[in-house]
A and B are shown apart, each in its own frame.
Chain A
Amino acid sequence: MFGLLATVLPAFSYFPALNFNTFSFNAWFDLLQHPSFFSAFKLTVSTGFLSTSFSILFSFIIFYRYVYFKPSRFLNKILTPMLAIPHAAFAIAFILLLSPSGWLLKIIGQFVGWVIPPNIVTVNDSYALSLTLVLILKETPFLILMMMTQLPNIPVKSNRLITQSLGYSDFASFVYIMLPQLLKNIRLPIYAVLAFSLTVVDVAQIIGPNAPPTLGVLIHQWISNSDFTLRLQAASGAIFLLLLVVSFIVLFYVLEQCCIKLILLKSSASKRSIMFESVFAQLGKIIYFILLLSILVIVVLILWSVTFRWGFTDILPNSFSLKFWQKSQEALLLGLKNAFIFAMISTVLGLVLMVGALEFVNSKKTNRKYLPKTLMYLPLLLPQVSFLFGFNVFLLWFDFHYDWVAIIWAHSLFVMPYLYISLKSVFEKFDKRYTLQSYALNRGYFKTLFFIKLPMLKGSIYTAFALGFSVSVVQYLPTLYMGEGRIETITTQMVNMASGSDYRRIAIFALCQILLPLIIFIVASRKTRDA
């Protein structure tokens, strides 16, 4: 809440620390008149729209192929690496693979006879297409994961049987029956993807354009500029971005409703099959591309981490060295340990609070639950920099100095929305007959919760935990601000290294950043399968 206030006030030129004591719209004029504003706005809109739409499309296509034709745990396994790779590490590795001097182009160069990297544009392009592609590749698995947590609520088998017996093709049954249900249930994850792709800073800085950059990066530049008056413009930019996210959410809500209407209309037109069915079924194989890419990403990082020099014409490094691993050892252990502790505590804490909140909300049939719910989304919707500035001032007011508690609190703030979106509909859709039965057998509320309900929802809870854990691991700004830079995690170390030029060290820290989420996702997918 305070984070929002600290963004809103400066947006209207109120910032006492800088001697701005009167309200005005000047910051808005400055924002709208900034020469980069309009182009940055267009870039942001196209990135956000395209990456979200394609992620939805691909996730449905893949989900269709694997839920109808293959056991779903196969899907779980295949998605794990991509889910576990943090966005920034993925973007860096994407450059190491696909830039004109990337590994894949080095390999192609062997056959084509390139002596130096070709003069072509593959990353950092002016249209932010490489940025969009990176976001699609990262968000598609996330949406599929979110759909899979909905599976216990949707009777896939019986749906399929019924529609088959009515003579519908598989794809038609998926579109007519599954799609509307899924769309409704993954609404919140879709909004999270929207908010993320519209406001993302680190990935856009790595692989996006810079003349001009996207709005998120532009705002970040203003807020970190030593000219403090730019903070006012940054604050109005942050509010603008927030409004943009909200209007996109409305747009996607409308689109969703239209889709559902359209589907219902079609389904009642008694068409039993849909054109290009086999094409869609084949398209589901995109997932192998995602899997391949996630493996290549890890391999190229491993290669760079043991490189001393690696010239363009060589498929493998010219000279190897383990020196950089040895040098990093101590720092890595510390960073991993801290990241693990923060992630564990903040996720467990978040999970307890969230289960409590969901239980509470579901037990009361009130409509007043909207306000706290919307507030909880703020950390997702507001650009982190401006939000955290306010949050930081708030903590300082209470003379709250750098410590673990502040970091854990901040991490929980960003972890909880993700826990919420992955658990909300699972909890709401939970079949009440089970709990009623338990009550009828004279089991108390807590016994019912802990022995009946939670065990039945184990799969979704493990997934939510893994997701929350990995969200905590990658938090950079909250760790930096709340820890005053004094407490390092693997992510702050990675960002430090990435601000330098040494690919070998960057690769080492990126690899270790992947490590923790990877382990947790593997464990979670094992557990989910057992459940």
Chain B
Amino acid sequence: MNFKQLVLAVFSLVLVVLAHAQTKSQSNEMAWNKTLEEAKGQTVYFNAWGGSDTINDYISWAAQKVNERHGVTVVHVKTGAGDVVSRVLAEKTAGAKKGSVDLVWINGENFKAMKNNGLLLEPWTQLLPNYQYVDVENKTTTTSDFTVDVNNQEAPWGMAQLVFYYDSDLLKVAPSSMQEFLEVAKNNQGRLTYPALPNFHGTTFVKQALIELIDEPSVLTQPVDESKFLKQTKNLWMFLDQLHPNLWHEGNQFANDSSHMKQLVNNQEIFIGISFNPNDAANAVINGELAQSTRSYVHKKGSIGNTHFVAIPYNSNAVAGAKVFADFLMSPLAQARKQDINVWGDPTVLNMTKLTKNEQSLFESRVESQQLLKTQDLANVLLEPHSSWVEALEQEWIKRYSN
């Protein structure tokens, strides 16, 4: 083979590859057009927790938009993911052909359960046009949900990070670590608490404490070794043993969940609340649910972050419509509105650098709020421990503090 032939061969190879890529993106586009076509006229039952007005209002805005644009009707069914998991399981048990859930707001444990029991649709999110803007490179939790491989079976919707908020009228200085949290508890008897496990926020609080206190953080990325578990978590239990007598109800009772904590902070019964939405406090102040004197903070070492998603059950009746709605929820327009603290304040899953200038400008904040955290405060995202730690921690916590 002479040089000329070689160039020709390489050139034709490149052409073939390019042509293939071209047809692939073309076929993707065609497939998506087909999905849009199918979706027209479908009704999507979107099951999502309905306890917050701001979130409900946002969902109904998104539903209206997607109806205008693609002729898909979205009905917000206000039930939590736990109910959905239970219902889809009942449907599988009975062998019902038609499912009752088309799309569900989900993450973490519930996703793991649905995935492992084959209750989810085969991988689909890679086909959504807006998926390419998702920041899968830097926001690793968009592909690994509580360390469980997302496997394109749920579409990223929003980012979450554990943050604290406090009433600055009652507490002059916010703690910046779990050790300082303990100091604050000692100085303000009965004024701090966290949700009882197995509540999701309670478990996260304990995980956060574990990450901050453990001698060898590297073991957290591995599955739990039961023989070493107690030794590895020794610092955590020592910390909680010291903390509890200083807590609300002397640590005999805990808050029910983060909503309960927000009520208690609002009523000044306790001083510090927790949330998974860094902008929660800012939104609640606008909404009148928290006092103007509320401030947010995170611990110096950073805090646990994760992502929440939407997923389609295996027996959805409106797969195309559900995909179209999930795609819209990931669009720059919908993501920007969601991040606006006047609307919801839930951080975006998108990568700004992948967007056009115009799209980026949608995200510029128009509001000043004293409750907002600075970007650098939130920069230090801690990864969730391996998912097996959740159960081990919950069991041990219940054994020690809930008997």
- Kindly identify which residue among A17, A209, A327, A498 contacts B253, using a CB–CB cutoff of 8 Å: A209
- Check if B260 sits within 8 Å of A485, measured CB to CB: no
For residue A155, CB closer than 8 A to chain B, the reply is: no
- Check if B288 sits within 8 Å of A226, measured CB to CB: no
- Check if B80 sits within 8 Å of A212, measured CB to CB: no
Residues of B within 8 A of A499 (CB): 49-51, 80, 259
Which residue of chain A is the closest to B51 with respect to CB atoms?
Answer: A500
- Check if A124 sits within 8 Å of B90, measured CB to CB: no
Given A212-B402, A226-B109, A393:B93 Cβ within 8 A: yes
Interface segment, B150-158, B262-270, B349-357? Answer: B262-270
- Check if A502 sits within 8 Å of B190, measured CB to CB: no
Bitwise, B76-113 to A at CB < 8 A (1) or not (0) is 01111011011101111111111011000000011011
Residues of B within 8 A of A227 (CB): 109, 113, 391
For residue B291, CB closer than 8 A to chain A, the reply is: yes
For residue B252, CB closer than 8 A to chain A, the reply is: yes
For residue A77, CB closer than 8 A to chain B, the reply is: no
Interface segment, A21-29, A308-316, A417-425? Answer: A308-316
For residue B272, CB closer than 8 A to chain A, the reply is: no
Interface residues in B270-292 (C-beta closer than 8 Å to A): 287-289, 291
State the Cβ distance, A405 to closest chain B Cβ, in Å: 16
Residues of A within 8 A of B47 (CB): 485
- Check if B53 sits within 8 Å of A505, measured CB to CB: yes
Given A226-B82, A484-B77, A484-B100, A121:B90 Cβ within 8 A: no
Complex Cα distance, B51 from A497, in Å, reads 5
State the Cβ distance, B19 to closest chain A Cβ, in Å: 46
State the Cβ distance, A412 to closest chain B Cβ, in Å: 21
- Check if B110 sits within 8 Å of A396, measured CB to CB: no
- Check if A38 sits within 8 Å of B403, measured CB to CB: yes
- Check if B113 sits within 8 Å of A228, measured CB to CB: yes
> Looking at chain A, what size class is its interface with the partner chain?
35 or more
- Kindly identify which residue among A17, A486, A496 contacts B51, using a CB–CB cutoff of 8 Å: A496
For residue B254, CB closer than 8 A to chain A, the reply is: yes
For residue A401, CB closer than 8 A to chain B, the reply is: yes
- Kindly identify which residue among B95, B112, B268 contacts A226, using a CB–CB cutoff of 8 Å: B112
What is the interface of chain A mostly: helix, strand, loop, or mixed? loop
Which residue of chain A is the closest to B251 with respect to CB atoms?
Answer: A211
Given A119-B189, A228-B113, A397-B94, A210:B196 Cβ within 8 A: yes
Residues of A within 8 A of B91 (CB): 396
For residue B147, CB closer than 8 A to chain A, the reply is: no
Which residue of chain B is the closest to A218 with respect to CB atoms?
Answer: B402
Complex Cα distance, B117 from A17, in Å, reads 9
Complex Cα distance, B255 from A205, in Å, reads 11
For residue B198, CB closer than 8 A to chain A, the reply is: yes
Residues of A within 8 A of B254 (CB): 210-211
- Check if A211 sits within 8 Å of B53, measured CB to CB: no
- Check if A101 sits within 8 Å of B90, measured CB to CB: no
Complex Cα distance, B113 from A308, in Å, reads 40
Complex Cα distance, B403 from A38, in Å, reads 7
- Kindly identify which residue among A99, A393, A492, A498 contacts B94, using a CB–CB cutoff of 8 Å: A393
Given A396-B91, A480-B83, A496-B51, A35:B260 Cβ within 8 A: no
- Check if B269 sits within 8 Å of A485, measured CB to CB: no
For residue A223, CB closer than 8 A to chain B, the reply is: yes
Residues of B within 8 A of A169 (CB): none
- Check if A35 sits within 8 Å of B402, measured CB to CB: yes
- Check if A211 sits within 8 Å of B268, measured CB to CB: no
For residue A162, CB closer than 8 A to chain B, the reply is: no
Residues of A within 8 A of B191 (CB): 119
State the Cβ distance, B205 to closest chain A Cβ, in Å: 14
- Check if A501 sits within 8 Å of B289, measured CB to CB: yes
- Check if B269 sits within 8 Å of A126, measured CB to CB: no
Complex Cα distance, B262 from A353, in Å, reads 47
- Kindly identify which residue among B53, B85, B198, B399 contacts A327, using a CB–CB cutoff of 8 Å: B53
Complex Cα distance, B96 from A371, in Å, reads 32
Interface residues in A480-498 (C-beta closer than 8 Å to B): 480-481, 484-486, 488, 492-493, 496-498
11 A-B residue pairings within 8 Å (CB atoms): A35-B403, A126-B252, A226-B82, A396-B94, A401-B100, A484-B100, A488-B78, A499-B49, A499-B51, A500-B259, A502-B52
Q: Across the A-B interface, give the 5 residue pairs with the lowest CB-CB distance, nearest first.
A: A500-B51, A396-B94, A101-B267, A226-B113, A501-B259
Kindly list 20 other residue pairs between chains A and B, CB separation below 8 angstroms, not including A226-B85, A309-B288: A36-B402, A101-B267, A121-B249, A210-B196, A210-B256, A211-B402, A212-B398, A224-B82, A226-B109, A226-B112, A227-B113, A227-B391, A228-B89, A321-B288, A389-B86, A392-B90, A396-B94, A401-B98, A499-B49, A499-B51
